Copies of this chain bind each other. A is one copy, B any other.
């Protein structure tokens, strides 16, 4: 088969790492008897600077014709974040009901944890982040702008539909893993949204007697990821909490250069989008020093989502082999190799 993939390298190192990931994915496709038919989009802050918008008006419609979306990163100094992100990343997540943001982390061979004395098997978890509602909302505004009595409101919006589906997804996932789910809450501080989240978590956990369900305040959970990450496996969290916890989880394992992410539409009605957790890192862009591993692994997640499970596993294994051998490492891993050298090493290992 052939899969139509929309590639949006975006800005900064998004461009650098996407090139390498495509090399790897094309090689994996060739070995497994399928092909990836890429179409490249220049949607980015650069485009915004020239044209005034991140993507064309019919951008979402264009993307809807693809089997998958492969995103580098967006963001550039001088372009306000609410433009770059709410003009591309967040609308795509929402228009395509990519309500799951799946962020697996684990300590890969050949890399070391920032934590003292932790082994790889203690550092493997997946953050299931709600990706369509919650704290990220356009509702709110400013009153008495610039005056002494100025007040700003920001509304979080949680729906039963939205909370149920993400929590159910987490329980289903836990059944395929260790059978443990931890829900991030903050019902002691956020007294409307989080008690509701907890209530639905309790409802759904009663449907899964075989899954060990617990909840943990987000502040304590952040501390636990550092002090006792070993009993964590599936962590389900709201949009904002999932954002924070997934960066943190990446940091306690191999770092942000290693963490992939899938924005998933579980019904398959719309395309899903795969990206690294890291941003566009303009300070190191174009220098050939960015670590492409997160983007390559995001590509593996995409192959898996497309049903090419074995190819996905092969990509994963090839990355692990290269990291384990340790001969080709980008600067963040303590080496001197370039982005392209690491990409090529993975391609060579796949062959």
Contacts and interface: CB of A to CB of B under 8 A. Distances in A.
Given A114-B227, A196-B142, A158 B154 contact: yes
Nearest to A246: B219
Given A116-B113, A220-B247, A223-B250, A192 B153 contact: yes
* A interface, over-half SS: mixed
Copies in the complex: 2
Given A113-B116, A115-B116, A190-B154, A223 B240 contact: no
A147 interface: yes
A258 B114 CA distance: 21
A175 B51 CA distance: 44
Contacts of A150: 159-160, 196
Contacts of A142: 192, 196
14 contacts: A82-B191, A114-B116, A116-B117, A140-B193, A147-B160, A149-B161, A150-B159, A150-B160, A153-B156, A153-B157, A154-B190, A189-B239, A222-B251, A226-B248
Interface of A: 75, 80-82, 84-86, 112-117, 135-136, 138, 140-142, 144, 147-161, 186-196, 218-220, 222-224, 226-227, 239-240, 243-248, 250-252, 255-256, 279
